[in-house]
Chain A
Amino acid sequence: MKILVCISNVPDTTTKITFTGDNTQFNTAGVQYIVNPYDEIALSRAIELCEGGKGTVTVINVGESQTEPTIRKALAIGADEAVRINAAPRDAYFTAYQIAEYAKTADFDMILCGRESIDYNGAQVAAMIGEFLGIPSISIIKKLEYDGSTATLEREIEGGKEVISVSGKFVASCSEGTAEPKIPNMRGIMSARTKPLSVADAKEIEQLSSILHFETPPPRGTVKLVPAEETAKLVDLLHNEAKVI
């Protein structure tokens, strides 16, 4: 079994988000980068499925050389090898195309992504890869079982879940529940240094979207405190002032 896991390099969750260049660029100064938390879940599930010599896990990242520490982290968690497509990811379409093109060169049984990246929150890459490859994509799964030929997945839907069965290749985007994120151990960290990390060139594709600028949400006013015994007053404020109930 061969599994490809897509890894995106994102700012640490505690990052204070600011912008430079007249709000056109994310301010990377002092930002710590991590493996996107959802990708970590996808990777952890892939490793579990391959445990005991049942298969190999390849991680792929579309990024410039500064993403390599994040890729090494994925190797430390337990991926067997890594590929970096050497390009700044322009948008999801570009990223998905690069991954799909790479996937065509190797025979992967499944491709796993995180449900979305916590920076641009596109949640687009997995389904786009599926479309580029002409294979099913199941978005926002919370469970994945594989018996060597058929996968059974649970997908989140409003107010419930859908159970889906796929025979043959597929792409899925993983959310919580799919696996407990694995934490790298000392042996993993040591071996990550020597695991293969290859670099490939990006392929050209038309650009369909671009981010022009960013804004941070307007600050909220100061909180209106209501004494604990006056819950009726809170209800009144929510009804008459905020008009939300």
Chain B
Amino acid sequence: MSVLVYVEQVEGKFKKSVFEAVSYAKAVADQQNTNLTAISIGNVAESELKTLGQYGASRVLNVGSEQLQQFVNQAYASVIAEAAQKEGAAIVVLSNSFSGKGLAPRIAVKLRAGLADGVTSLPKTDNGFTVTRTAFSGKAFATVSLTSAVKVISLSPNAFGVKESPADAIIENFTPDVKESDFSAVVKDIVRATDKVSLPDAEIVVSGGRGLKGPENWGMIEELAALLGAATACSKPVSDADWRPHSEHVGQTGIAISPNLYIAIGISGAIQHLAGVSSSKVIVVINKDPEAPFFKVADYGIVGDAFEVVPKLIEAVKAHKA
């Protein structure tokens, strides 16, 4: 019996969302009075693997095999499930990233495990095994009971936070049984804008709506985001009009996010937009219409013209940082 956490590497490095998943898995392992093992697939330096110890992983299974350097959903799912079986893991934790979303369901089927994804809380064990997850695009939370022997939990970004719990991580090589049939989907190309903060797990998000009038006005949104170390996002009509890429569209039919700070500029706050952003911890709304529905769910607001307020806000942030 142990807890296994999958640590997704990007170009040999772990991101904050991974440390968060490890922190969470460590807390779960503590609840269960057991140890935490991490599994990493692909080429990661030993020094980087060691950092997982800081968040409580006492062992790290390192899968360095040549064939698995690049993410292949089916093969990675097989490797993680195999490790879970060999480790006798009762609980498998992943982050609910784009790749995690593709892996967790396959792992769950392989292990005949109940799966809870988008999980926002530690398990409760007083009444079986229950976790809380978001439902109805953030309009509600559901308490899910997992009744299978093995359980898979996919953690919502920013739900738990990174918590240090230093342990000395022992690195072991793990050689899985790879099946050729797991490689029929082939990755041809990866395009990644490394200079930008990724939206789904960003701590701060600066978002623009139709109130910004056109794509040419996004300079100030990007400048504010860069100053704050934030990701940029937009409302649906903005991406529909191709002012911004679809990958920035947040809301019920876009990405659901839960940053610590969401700054909405020139967005009215339609129910479908709110669905995807309402689990943000703090919401700031800048809108020239005092009646904009977004103010009803905001923590802080400025009623004013974005074209005057945002440049001043940029100055204020610069002054604050100086």
Which A residues form the contact surface with B (CB < 8 A)? 11, 13-14, 17, 19, 26, 37-38, 92-93, 96, 118-128, 130-132, 134-140, 142, 152, 155-168, 170, 175-177, 206-217, 220-221, 223-229, 231-232, 234-239, 242, 244-245
Confirm or deny: B90 has a beta carbon within 8 angstroms of a beta carbon on chain A: no
A17, A163, A216, A238 pick with most chain B CB within 10 angstroms: A238
Q: How far apart sit A154 and B10, CA to CA, in the bound complex (Å)?
A: 18
B186 in complex: contacting residue of A131, A165, A176, A226, CB < 8 Å? A165
| Residue of A139, A166, A177, A236 most packed against chain B (CB within 10 A) | A139
Please state if B147 and A209 are interface contacts (CB–CB under 8 Å): yes
B316 touching A232, Cβ below 8 Å: yes
Q: Mark B141-181, 1 if CB is under 8 A from A, else 0.
A: 11111111000000000000000000000000000000001
Q: A134 with B253: in contact, given A13-B271, A231-B316 (CB under 8 Å)?
A: no
**Chain B nearest CB, measured from A110 CB (Å):** 12
* CB–CB A96/B105 < 8 A: yes
Cβ-defined contact, A235 with B309, below 8 A? no
Residues B73 and A139 in contact, CB atoms below 8 Å apart: yes
How many angstroms between the C-alpha atoms of A223 and B297 in the bound complex? 7
* A118→B184 contact, CB < 8 A: no
Is the CB–CB distance between B113 and A140 below 8 Å? no
User: Is the pair B101, A121 in contact by a Cβ cutoff of 8 Å?
Assistant: no
Identify 9 new A-B residue pairs, CB closer than 8 A, beyond the known A14-B271, A118-B137, A235-B313: A124-B117, A136-B73, A157-B190, A158-B200, A160-B190, A209-B145, A209-B147, A216-B140, A242-B299
Task: Tell whether, in the assembled complex, residue B106 and residue A127 are in contact, meaning their CB atoms are under 8 Å apart.
Answer: yes
**B73 in complex: contacting residue of A134, A138, A167, A224, CB < 8 Å:** A138
Q: Please give me the residue from chain B that is nearest to A176 by CB atom.
A: B246
In angstroms, Cα B181 to Cα A135, docked, is 8
- Of B28-36, B42-50, B215-223, B274-282, which binds chain A? B274-282
On chain B, the number of residues with a Cβ less than 8 Å from chain A's Cβ atoms is: 103
B135 touches A242 (CB 8 A): no
Checking A17, A121, A136, A228 against B184 with a beta-carbon cut-off of 8 angstroms, the contacting residue is: A136
10 closest Cβ contacts across the A-B interface?
A: A228-B304, A160-B192, A208-B114, A139-B102, A127-B105, A158-B198, A136-B185, A209-B114, A131-B109, A163-B189
Contact A127 B135, beta carbon cutoff 8 Å: no
Q: Is the CB of A124 within 8 A of B115?
A: yes
Q: Is the CB of A226 within 8 A of B320?
A: no
Which residues of chain B are within 8 angstroms of A234 by Cβ–Cβ distance?
Answer: 284, 300, 302, 313, 316
B225 interface hit (Cβ, 8 Å): no
Measured between beta carbons, the chain A residues less than 8 angstroms from B271 are 13-14
Nearest A residue to B96, CB-CB: A123
Would A121 and B200 count as touching, CB distance under 8 A? no
Interchain pairs with CB closer than 8 A, number: 280
Chain B residues with Cβ below 8 Å from A165 are: 185-186, 188
Contact B246 A158 (CB under 8 A): no
Most central of B97, B139, B192 by chain A CB within 10 Å: B139
Residue of A nearest to B138 (CB): A217
Q: Chain B's nearest CB lies how many Å from the CB of A233?
A: 8
**Are A217 and B253 neighbours in the complex by a CB distance under 8 Å?**
no
User: Do B284 and A238 have beta carbons less than 8 Å apart?
Assistant: yes
With both beta carbons as reference points, the residue of chain B lying nearest to A224 in the complex is identified as B300
Identify which of residues 1-50 in chain B touch chain A, using a CB-to-CB cut-off of 8 Å: 10, 15
Complex Cα–Cα for A131 and B282 (A) = 39
A155 proximity list for chain B (CB < 8 A): 98
Q: Does B51 contact A (CB under 8 A)?
A: no
- Which chain B positions have C-beta within 8 A of A161? 190-191, 247
A221 touches B299 (CB 8 A): yes
Asked whether B143 lies within 8 Å of A119 as measured between CB atoms, the reply is: no
A-B contact pairs, 5 of them (CB 8 A): A121-B136, A127-B77, A162-B187, A209-B145, A214-B141
A residues near B213, Cβ cutoff 8 Å: none
Residues of chain B within 8 A (CB-CB) of A216 are 139-141
Q: Indicate if the CB atoms of B101 and A123 lie closer than 8 Å.
A: yes
Assembly CA distance A175 to B283 (angstroms): 26
Q: Once the chains bind, are B192 and A159 in contact (CB under 8 Å)?
A: yes
Which residues of chain A are within 8 angstroms of B204 by Cβ–Cβ distance? 244-245
Chain B, residues 245-263, CB within 8 Å of chain A (1/0): the string is 0110100111010001100
In Å, the complex CA distance between A14 and B113 comes to 34
B235 interfacial by beta-carbon distance below 8 Å? no
B211 interface hit (Cβ, 8 Å): no
A121 is contacted by which of B108, B198, B246, B256 (Cβ under 8 Å)? B256
Which B residues touch A207, using CB under 8 A?
Answer: 147
A208/B113 contact (C-beta < 8 A), A214-B135, A238-B261 known = yes
List of B residues within 8 angstroms of A215 by Cβ = 132, 140-143
Cβ–Cβ contact A212 & B143, under 8 A: yes
B99 near A134 (CB under 8 angstroms)?
A: no
